Structure 1
Amino acid sequence: MGIISILLIAVGLAMDSLAVSISGGIVMRPFCMRQSLRLAFTMGIFQGGMTLFGWLMGVSFSSYITTFDHWIAFILLGFLGGKMIYESFREEETTISSFSTKTLLTLGVATSIDALAVGVSMAFLKTSIYFPAFIIGFVTFSLSLIGVICGYRFGKIKGINVELFGGIILIGIGIKILIEHLME
């Protein structure tokens, strides 16, 4: 597989993580580079790691995963998005100064299920997975970090219910994943 193909796959896989990172940046107050790096690192590790894991699982297990992976992503993102929307209607402004490990792991799993499927499909190519998995993880990390920073800047605009907006983004990603897989 050529580098251009790997980069295109990496960018495609990173889009959900980018959107989630923008949502994270929207509610982050004050801005914290350490937390931004933590979120981006989690997204990158999960994308690259799930690609590798999918490749290792190979063909034999793929039919079991693809029957329900989209439902898992939909439920996780729907729950987190619903929670954000619910909290957006509370009186006090909700901000976060750090992401809990539980939240990071949930977001990491929910946004990287497609990478698992890509890894399984790469097993058919009979090629080394380590370079593609690294590139996928690195591109996701980079775009997620940019997303957190852009989301933070957007969240500073007054008069916008940023938590509501972030929740809608998460639910939208969940619906997108569900519809894409049901249409296959």
Structure 2
Amino acid sequence: MNALSTAALAMAMSTDAFAAAIGKGTALKQPRWTEALRTGAIFGVIEGITPLVGWLLGLTAVNAVKEWDHWIAFVLLGTLGLHMVYNGLKTDQSEVDAVEDKPSRHSFARLALTGFATSIDAMAVGVGLAFIDVNIAYVAAAIGFATFVMVTLGVMLGRVMGAVVGKRAEIVGGIVLAAVGAAILFEHLTAA
């Protein structure tokens, strides 16, 4: 695998996380760069580890992850997205109150769960890479770095979108997460 292929793979693996990060950014009260970098680091580390896990699984059980990755991602992202939509609909506050009630940061657990859900496909890629001659550490680091950059930018883009969307930003973020999960499921079901 050459450098161009690795870069393309890294960018492709980070697109789901980028979309989820936009949703995360819209759900926050004016996220700062520090929160965007924190979110990017959490997603990037998880996205960098999952191909390694997949590669190890690929050495032992080829189809275990690949057959279910899209369902796992769909359920996790759909559940998180629906929870965000529910939170956005449960109160009928004014736009100012809704913005003031938004958290300034997400919990580590919520970010890690979302990061894991968006990285299931990277795990499946790791399984496939176990069967070709590739430096898995290099590829995993490239995927993790691309995800870090894309998620950091996604959170800040979500900040802008949150200001435009107003009090229903969390609903938009939830819909984005659920849509990412549905897109992963659709992509895998139509490719089969």
- TM-score where L is the length of structure 2: 0.90
Residues 3-40 of structure 1, C-alpha deviations (whole Å, 9 max, x = no match): 11011111111000000111111121132322211211
1:103 corresponds to which residue? 110
2:168 corresponds to which residue? 161
- Note if contact 1:42-1:108 (Cα within 8 Å) is conserved in structure 2: yes
2:71 corresponds to which residue? 71
- Note if contact 1:27-1:95 (Cα within 8 Å) is conserved in structure 2: yes
Q: CA RMSD in A?
A: 1.5
- Whole-angstrom distance in 2 between the partners of 1:149 and 1:29: 11
- Whole-angstrom distance in 2 between the partners of 1:59 and 1:181: 22
1:140 corresponds to which residue? 147
Give 2:56's aligned amino acid: L
Shift in alpha-carbon separation, 1:159–1:32, aligned structure 2, 3 A: closer
Structure 1 unaligned runs (5+)?
none
- TM-score where L is the length of structure 1: 0.93
- Whole-angstrom distance in 2 between the partners of 1:72 and 1:113: 8
Residues 139-183 of structure 1, C-alpha deviations (whole Å, 9 max, x = no match): 110011111111101211255621111111111111111112222
SS in 1 for 2:48: helix
2:19 corresponds to which residue? 19
Shift in alpha-carbon separation, 1:16–1:159, aligned structure 2, 3 A: same
1:124 to 131, 137, 141: 131
Counterpart check, 1:173 vs 2:146:
no
Shift in alpha-carbon separation, 1:57–1:159, aligned structure 2, 3 A: closer
- Whole-angstrom distance in 1 between the partners of 2:146 and 2:166: 33
- Whole-angstrom distance in 2 between the partners of 1:26 and 1:134: 28
Which range moved further: 19-28 or 157-166? Answer: 157-166
Deviation at 1:102, TM superposition (A): 1.5
**Aligned-residue identity in percent:** 37
- Note if contact 2:47-2:143 (Cα within 8 Å) is conserved in structure 1: yes
- Note if contact 1:62-1:117 (Cα within 8 Å) is conserved in structure 2: no
- Whole-angstrom distance in 1 between the partners of 2:63 and 2:87: 38
Give 1:44's aligned amino acid: G
- Note if contact 1:42-1:104 (Cα within 8 Å) is conserved in structure 2: yes
Deviation at 1:107, TM superposition (A): 0.5
- Note if contact 1:29-1:95 (Cα within 8 Å) is conserved in structure 2: yes
